[in-house]
Structure 1
Amino acid sequence: MSSKKAVFYISLILSLGLISVGVFAPKSLESFSNSSLSFIYNNLGWFILGSVFLFFAFCMYIGLSKFGHIRLGDDDDRPEYKTGTWIGMLFSASIGISLVFWGVAEPVSYYVDPPFGQAASEQSAKLAMQFVFLHWGVSAWACYALVGVSLAFFQFRKKLPASLSSVFYPLVGDKIRGTFGKVIDIIVILSIVIGIATSLGFGTLQVNTGVNYLWGIPVNINIQALIIIVVTFIYVGSTVSGLQGAMKHLSNLNMFLAFALLGFVLFLGPTQSIFKIFFQGIGDYVQNFIGMSFRTEPYNDGKWISSWTLFYFGWWIAWAPLVGSFVARISKGRTIKEFMFGAVFIPVLGSFFWFSVMGGSALHLIQNMGKQALATAVSTDVTSALFKFFDYFPMGTFLSILAMVLVLVFFITSANSAVFVLGMISENGNPNPTHLTKIIWGIVIAAISVVLIMTGGLAGLQSALVATAVPLAILMIFMCYSTLKGLKEELIVTPKSSSKTVKVKSGMLSEKQAQ
């Protein structure tokens, strides 16, 4: 595998080969994936929970310790993007569309079917927000932050290629440029292709459900294919324009629309209850964080934990290569301390507030106002939960349309980041991949999504992605060790002192040492 195009061609062939299984044998794939997931949850659930907690602890350690002052780039580099734009791009590249989809559906689902205790009660309402915060809290963002900070350090500080294989340089040296590095990159590309293809497919189903609910447009494959084609033209075009072009503006638009939707629901809905739910939820989350993070339910079947907590944690690990690679690309010039604060805690607070406004309002309607029909509607069809929730508000149709636009823009920006990262890795870490490579991946992902919707292979492929969480978690544990080793070496060659410094290729040496 010495050819410069080896990673691109091999990963493209393997991606199409793997997807073809979901196309021609969707039931077999789903059965195999579900069996794999059951085996992992029953035997290695503790490993997934422990790994995610380790990633969070590692991120906090390097952010708050002596390594925090190290800049992701040269010492005189400064952030390429303003903090507001940077945060907007973080959301847009990762969980934005999922927040819109699950904002109402997930808290209500936990209320109806809680992890323990009586269903449809005050206790289940509190537990609903508590576990939502666990699943979307620091544990999730730490997975992204680990990959992001590791890659950004080796890419911008050590001047290595923008590929995940570069992170292992302290362990294997120049082997990252050989077969070892290419294997790592191919594995990462496969996980990205599967992840974004399934997300594009499920997102399309939600959009189709939304336009059906609002305007009676039928739910069928023709409409879904049309949605994917239109979205593909937009996200491929915006990706070709580059990070400084449409991608940055779309991320800013995302944040504006999200704040607008939040503002309407916040002030049209139960404002005081929303703030109470927000603060109560944070308190319950912080107080029970350790217990929830290690909750394995060894004395019962553990079905709820497997269906929700382990699935989510596995999903975050599986998405870490994609989101982490994109986060690294947009974080040049920030210190590790600044990176950790911005990439972990700020998005978490934003996610918590989103769920408090959307899910908290829904729980208020059901628990306090007796609107049980909303709980029934969510239990029946989660894809229409948000739109049925808006029926209880003034200007409900307007809010639904605003939410639809937000879903589509998040849709486009998520695909944007995926295609951009695929281009970087396919071209051996090129931070500005060619338009042709990005266009090819954009078309491939769209075609895969359409075919999977037609054959019903989405669920099986989604489960297959989560099943990769164990090998990826092992890879990320080695990533922690390699990054820590690299950071320690960096402090040796760049001691913190007041003496004047000069740059050299391997890092920084004091002027006295340089002489």
Structure 2
Amino acid sequence: MRSENGLFKGLNPTVTIGSKVIVIAFVIFCAVLPEQAGDIFQDISASVLNNAKWFYLGLVTAVLGFLLYLMVSRFGHIRLGKDDERPEFSFISWVSMLFSGGMGIGLIFWSVAEPMWHYAGNPFSEGMTDAAAGMAMRLTFFHWGLHPWAIFIIVALALAYFSYRKELPLTLRSILYPFIGDRIYGPIGHTVDILTVAITAFGVSQSLGLGVIQMNSGLKSVFGMEISIGIQLTMIAVIMLLAIVSVMSGVGRGIRRLSEWNMLLSVVIVAIVLAIGPTRYILNILLESTGDYAGNLISMSLWSDANADSGWQNLWTAFYWPWWMTWAPFVGMFIARISRGRTIRELIGGALIVPTLITFIWMSVFGGSALFVEQQARHVHETAVVDGVVAAAKFDGGAVLQATQEDTTLALFTLFDALDPGALGSVLSILAVLLLATYFITSADSGTLVLCTLDSVGSPEPPRAIRVIWGLVIGCIAGALLYAGGLKTIQTASIIAGLPISIFILVMTLSLYRTLRREPMAAAMLPPQVRPDDEALDYHSGKPVPRELSTIDLDA
């Protein structure tokens, strides 16, 4: 399956060529016919969201419940590797890479913008009120909390288990082994990997394109630099060159060090905003929103807007879940790549709970500060007096909300100006642009590494030449779509891709549970009379023994 010589040495020629044909054809279609492509994908995605919303909501909630069960069950102690293997990376480095590869970019982009949109209007409260502020944080926590990480982790856990425990290739085809056996090395496996590569390439490219737009907005806010396609294309070129250098040095050096830098810079920015911002309000809203989220988790998870059917959820929750699913192959494989040697309990607990808590802190600091600024602006408006009469004009929002509605990329930088219109606000904007750049580099090189790993049939150290090629291809895709205005089109198309991925996630969940039940170490922990299989397992050797001989005292 992997070529041993020639041009494709170390690679799977079928996946390498097939994926690039799909990617290039799609990019050409979006670039040449952006309006037609947008209309087609918009119609299909709207139909998918309207008719499959219940499936998305139920599946993601079920996956989260399954992972929590695995974490506390007898399966939790199973190690993702040999029984005596230990993790490759320290806990701090591991969490840093989790955060950088998973949500670092999105959190910067939406940390202010999403609470502002929910504050302006949501189905559960009147817009721009105290109740709307609390609901805005609850909804933001929900969309960026346990559920998206559950989507990433189920893919990561299945990949890590079948690859490190069962010694199958580190590719998504391996997850199908319990159902189709060695046929994963044939056309079915090739198809799964080709689609995974294509979806990953689109996701990374779109993230890069959207990111440079926000960076351009930040540079305009600080230095007055114009917003232009030329500047954005230059940014893409520089970022991808740095990403290629990083990915050439491997996970243990380039990606790990950049991720640690990301976390350090993130802590610095959070500390500054916490110090100069409404500290008491931020800490209160962090505590209150966390409790609000926990108390309403089940109802929010299963709420489908069945009666009103207002369409709001299609723009948010039912949009987010398939959107996260399109990222699941990329993020899941990257998490699996850095998680060898950890137990199932460590992977789920560390990758599900720790990043969620970090996300809550981040959203509370930035989203909470923005809400405080808006609340203050609303109170000033309500108490304004003109010629002795309370102003009757409708409140249209403060500076942050208006900037968000004008251009989402301006939200964060407008907040910094509102907190400190002087030098410190400019410093925060510069630090945010720098953080965006390093997060983009980390996402680009981790995405490139995943693409190369898939092309090389799961090799943890893919050929260096393919790393350079994919780095250049990702940059070209992002630049072409940005130039042609096709980023919105690819975003809409990604929602469509979420449907087959959701079905695959369901299959991998069943495949993983089916195989875990036959895991010798896990099954040996059960009393003989409740073992699930027709055969029991010897406690010491893990080998099957006849049922009538399996009444040995396991504590002996």
TM-score band (shorter)? over 0.9
Shift of 1:117: 2.4
Q: 1:89 & 1:194 partners in 2: Cα distance?
A: 21
| Among candidates 17, 24, 29, match of residue 16 of structure 1 | 24
CA contact (8 A) 1:48 1:469 kept: no
In structure 1, the residue matched to 2:462 is 433
CA contact (8 A) 1:29 1:461 kept: no
Shift of 1:512: 9.0
Shift of 1:231: 0.3
In structure 1, the residue matched to 2:416 is 390
In structure 1, the residue matched to 2:524 is 495
Shift of 1:187: 1.1
| Alignment partner of 1:458 is 2:466 | no
Shift of 1:170: 1.0
| Alignment partner of 1:213 is 2:213 | no
Q: 2:478 & 2:118 partners in 1: Cα distance?
A: 29
Shift of 1:311: 1.1
| Alignment partner of 1:187 is 2:217 | no
In structure 1, the residue matched to 2:8 is none
In structure 1, the residue matched to 2:211 is 203
CA contact (8 A) 2:399 2:414 kept: no
Deviations 1:268-297 (A, max 9, x none): 111111111011111111111111111211
Deviations 1:355-396 (A, max 9, x none): 000000110111135472222122111101111100122410
CA contact (8 A) 2:74 2:525 kept: no
Q: Structure 2 matches for 1:328-367, cutoff 5 A?
A: 328-367=336-375
Deviations 1:152-202 (A, max 9, x none): 011111111111111111111111111111111111111101111111111
Amino acid at match of 2:507: F
Q: Using a 3 Å threshold, how does the CA distance of structure 1 residues 159 and 508 change in structure 2: closer, same or farther? A: farther
CA contact (8 A) 1:296 1:302 kept: no
Match of 1:391, SS? helix
Q: Which has the higher helix share?
A: 1
Match of 1:75, SS? coil
| Alignment partner of 1:326 is 2:329 | no
In structure 2, the residue matched to 1:106 is 114
CA contact (8 A) 1:493 1:508 kept: no
Deviations 1:396-451 (A, max 9, x none): 00111111111100010011111000000011111111111111111111001111
CA contact (8 A) 2:417 2:425 kept: yes
Q: Using a 3 Å threshold, how does the CA distance of structure 1 residues 472 and 72 change in structure 2: closer, same or farther? A: same
CA contact (8 A) 1:278 1:356 kept: yes
Q: 2:64 & 2:543 partners in 1: Cα distance?
A: 37
Shift of 1:513: 5.3
Q: 1:312 & 1:139 partners in 2: Cα distance?
A: 10
CA contact (8 A) 2:520 2:543 kept: no
Shift of 1:494: 6.9
Amino acid at match of 2:511: S
Q: Tell me which of the two structures has the higher relative contact order, counting C-alpha pairs closer than 8 angstroms and 6 or more residues apart.
A: 1
Moved more, 210-219 or 75-84: 210-219
Q: Using a 3 Å threshold, how does the CA distance of structure 1 residues 217 and 493 change in structure 2: closer, same or farther? A: closer
Q: Structure 2 matches for 1:213-252, cutoff 5 A?
A: 213-252=221-260
Q: 1:65 & 1:303 partners in 2: Cα distance?
A: 39
Match of 1:279, SS? helix
In structure 1, the residue matched to 2:297 is 289
In structure 1, the residue matched to 2:183 is 175
> What CA RMSD, in Å, does the superposition of the two structures yield over aligned residues?
1.9
Q: 1:136 & 1:167 partners in 2: Cα distance?
A: 27
| Among candidates 403, 406, 411, match of residue 435 of structure 2 | 406
Q: 2:366 & 2:276 partners in 1: Cα distance?
A: 12
Amino acid at match of 1:54: A
Q: Using a 3 Å threshold, how does the CA distance of structure 1 residues 45 and 511 change in structure 2: closer, same or farther? A: closer
| Among candidates 271, 282, 293, match of residue 279 of structure 2 | 271
Q: Structure 2 matches for 1:42-53, cutoff 5 A?
A: 42-53=50-61
Match of 2:316, SS? helix
Q: 1:118 & 1:493 partners in 2: Cα distance?
A: 51
Shift of 1:491: 2.9
Q: Max radius of gyration: which structure? A: 2
Q: Using a 3 Å threshold, how does the CA distance of structure 1 residues 435 and 348 change in structure 2: closer, same or farther? A: same
Q: 1:352 & 1:24 partners in 2: Cα distance?
A: 41
Amino acid at match of 2:412: L
| Alignment partner of 1:62 is 2:70 | yes
Q: Structure 2 matches for 1:53-92, cutoff 5 A?
A: 53-92=61-100
CA contact (8 A) 1:2 1:178 kept: no
| Among candidates 34, 55, 78, match of residue 26 of structure 1 | 34
Q: Using a 3 Å threshold, how does the CA distance of structure 1 residues 38 and 493 change in structure 2: closer, same or farther? A: closer
Shift of 1:493: 8.4
Match of 2:56, SS? helix
In structure 2, the residue matched to 1:500 is none
CA contact (8 A) 1:133 1:352 kept: yes
Q: Using a 3 Å threshold, how does the CA distance of structure 1 residues 120 and 160 change in structure 2: closer, same or farther? A: same
**Residues paired across the two proteins, number:** 506
Shift of 1:123: 0.9
Structure 1 unaligned segments of length 5 or more: list them.
498-506
Q: 1:2 & 1:286 partners in 2: Cα distance?
A: 47
CA contact (8 A) 2:2 2:457 kept: no
Structure 2 unaligned segments of length 5 or more: list them.
4-11, 381-397, 527-536, 546-556
Q: 1:493 & 1:112 partners in 2: Cα distance?
A: 50
CA contact (8 A) 1:494 1:508 kept: no
Q: 1:128 & 1:491 partners in 2: Cα distance?
A: 47
Shift of 1:492: 6.6
TM-score (norm 1): 0.95
Deviations 1:64-87 (A, max 9, x none): 111101000001111111111100
Q: 1:276 & 1:432 partners in 2: Cα distance?
A: 46
In structure 2, the residue matched to 1:447 is 476
CA contact (8 A) 1:48 1:310 kept: yes
| Among candidates 490, 510, 513, match of residue 540 of structure 2 | 510
Shift of 1:511: 4.6
Q: 2:498 & 2:31 partners in 1: Cα distance?
A: 23
In structure 2, the residue matched to 1:130 is 138
Q: Using a 3 Å threshold, how does the CA distance of structure 1 residues 63 and 16 change in structure 2: closer, same or farther? A: same
Q: 1:57 & 1:513 partners in 2: Cα distance?
A: 31
Q: 1:261 & 1:152 partners in 2: Cα distance?
A: 34
Q: 2:40 & 2:308 partners in 1: Cα distance?
A: 24
Deviations 1:17-72 (A, max 9, x none): 11111111111111111111210121111111111111111111212111101000
Q: 2:32 & 2:277 partners in 1: Cα distance?
A: 47
Q: 1:496 & 1:353 partners in 2: Cα distance?
A: 39
Q: Using a 3 Å threshold, how does the CA distance of structure 1 residues 437 and 159 change in structure 2: closer, same or farther? A: same
| Alignment partner of 1:375 is 2:375 | no
In structure 2, the residue matched to 1:312 is 320
